[in-house]
Structure 1
């Protein structure tokens, strides 16, 4: 494309024509060929140079996923970490970018494997799968322990350069810690009541060793899965467990009956004690009342014996006479004819 003269400038009053893209590309290729050996002669060497240029441009760009960062090395030396997105690096293996998933939760399984796992260190190797679950407890019993370790990459540079094969090292660390923790407890604690305590202690010790070895790993969770006795003794172990469960069942039933009968007996006991206390207080009060009344009568009797004696006689007769249905009065002074006064008949006649 020719350069516009003065008539083609805005001052000349004529609009410039738009650039031709094909012509620009052709000029660029001609300039690239002119710089090649042989003055741009066509041939295998020029084709190789073009291919090399395209590959260099293609390898200079790379994309980092949203859950990862890229660790860039220049001639094998650590250079920097780059965040997620599209980035540029020097081509021809001058710069190398390694993608590290720092926001993704990774896991390692011991004693079992999940189908479709991509990480070679996530599942146990076939020759070690059964061995790593065989453990000896503190009471010298054997148990097959399966567990899962969930972790994240906290420091990409340490994860890549501080330790050779950090994921494999983590498997060895996890197995060592789990054997230590399980070996401090009885088999009953491992299978039943001690699972939560084992998980917590194993998590702390794994994190401590990961920090000590500068593995760049943060342990999120340690979870026990299946815990079983070895297969040769599994039937006997199940029978023992059934016997223990039956024992617990009978104990619970006995406690239920105890809680049902004992409170009822305690209530009856308290009721009878209160009744006895009430009767005791009643008799004491009656006796004290009788004593006080006798003392009062005795005092009055001392003052006027005849009057008191007559009054006591009259009061006694007032209490006794109404209870007698048939009453006969006899006069001791009369002799011969028996005087008779039938008070009961007279009282009935009036009615």
Structure 2
């Protein structure tokens, strides 16, 4: 049978157990119950008289609050590494700085920003710049720095890295603008680097960035592409000049000690020769001074002895032997050098002496024969003279 059959006043959405009809809950009633619950938590009595429900709600909310408190306390612990320093912000304002280690801060009240103060950071810059002699060069430079004051690095300026980059560009362009192109490209690179470093320190000092510049490296300096080949040739020539000068200096350093040693050796030899000649002359003078009394006592004997000693010393260095044969009046030349060379080929000293004696006897015999012949000629001539008379 259908529920809307005639004669039947029965609504299927109604509960038969209840006398009064019950519709959807009213929003005002729900708000009243919630306000009564929270009012009970803060010491107010509920108008509905639900004591058991209010106690359980209080316990539940207390447990939730306790759990949230534990979570809040645990989440407040943090660690700062050895290379970092922690900058503490309390309600967004700088409060303090913490050292490495384990720390606690109230969550949602303090905020900690770790900053690495030991790492070296790098910032490059490059660009085309105008030199003092109105030429354009391309310069690439790199600066290395580290953070020494984290709170100043974060709050002295809006962006410390950007401020450093602008200061670096300004310093580099100023130095390049007061240098010639040749200095920037070749010999003055170190001067440009040093002046840029000094000027950069002066520019960032008033801003108090909390940054320390560690090094400035001039990486690349070159001319524009249109004239690059010509400048490369010029730079190569200058490098060759420097290399040749270094090689010449190395050669000089190598040869100079040798030459000085030779000069010293020659000087010492000359000094030794000088001293030897002086000593020898002094010895000769002393010897003649000793001979003078003997010469005065017997001049002829002393003169003859000096002559013989002198001739002995002179002829001692000669390889020729002269034999004076007084009987014949001839001087015999003995090739002693050849005889000595033969003696070196198994000719003994006795053979040499025998040869000398044989030649001496032959010379004497020839002398005797010549005298005999002369006597016969004299006797023959006297006979012919007597016959003529």
**TM-score, scaled relative to structure 2:** 0.49
CA distance in 2, matches of 1:179, 1:161: 28
Question: Which residue of structure 1 aligns with residue 300 of structure 2?
Answer: 309
Where structure 1 has 5 or more consecutive residues not aligned to the other structure, the ranges are 1-29, 40-49, 112-129, 331-343
1:239 to 233, 236, 241: 233
8 Å CA contact retained: 1:70, 1:99: yes
Q: 1:89 to 1:266 in 2, by over 3 A?
A: closer
Q: 1:231 to 1:32 in 2, by over 3 A?
A: farther
Is 1:176–2:170 an aligned residue pair? Answer: yes
8 Å CA contact retained: 2:122, 2:144: yes
Is 1:219–2:200 an aligned residue pair? Answer: no
1:109 to 123, 131, 134: 123
Q: 1:68 to 1:214 in 2, by over 3 A?
A: same
Is 1:34–2:37 an aligned residue pair? Answer: yes
8 Å CA contact retained: 1:203, 1:219: no
Shift of residue 272, structure 1, vs aligned partner: 5.0
Shift of residue 178, structure 1, vs aligned partner: 3.4
Cα deviations by residue, 1:231-261 (Å, 9 ceiling, x for unpaired): 3333222211211222233334444555556
1:326 to 323, 326, 329: 323
CA distance in 1, matches of 2:35, 2:218: 65
Is 1:146–2:160 an aligned residue pair? Answer: no
Note the aligned Cα RMSD (angstroms): 5.0
- Give the match's secondary structure for 1:101: strand
Q: 1:206 to 1:105 in 2, by over 3 A?
A: farther
- Give the match's secondary structure for 1:248: helix
Shift of residue 162, structure 1, vs aligned partner: 3.6
Is 1:88–2:111 an aligned residue pair? Answer: no
Q: 1:98 to 1:321 in 2, by over 3 A?
A: closer
**TM-score, scaled relative to structure 1:** 0.53
Larger radius of gyration: 2
- Give the match's secondary structure for 2:208: coil
8 Å CA contact retained: 1:71, 1:81: yes
CA distance in 1, matches of 2:301, 2:117: 115
8 Å CA contact retained: 1:202, 1:222: no
8 Å CA contact retained: 2:130, 2:176: yes
Where structure 2 has 5 or more consecutive residues not aligned to the other structure, the ranges are 1-32, 41-45, 47-60, 316-320, 328-355, 362-389
CA distance in 1, matches of 2:34, 2:144: 60
1:158-173 alignment, distance < 5 Å: 158-173=152-167
Q: 1:200 to 1:347 in 2, by over 3 A?
A: same
Shift of residue 198, structure 1, vs aligned partner: 5.9
Q: 1:134 to 1:188 in 2, by over 3 A?
A: same
Q: 1:261 to 1:220 in 2, by over 3 A?
A: closer
Shift of residue 285, structure 1, vs aligned partner: 4.5
- Give the match's secondary structure for 2:323: coil
Q: 1:297 to 1:108 in 2, by over 3 A?
A: closer
8 Å CA contact retained: 2:184, 2:221: no
The count of aligned residue pairs is 265
Q: Which moved more, 1:57-66 or 1:226-235?
A: 57-66
8 Å CA contact retained: 1:206, 1:219: no
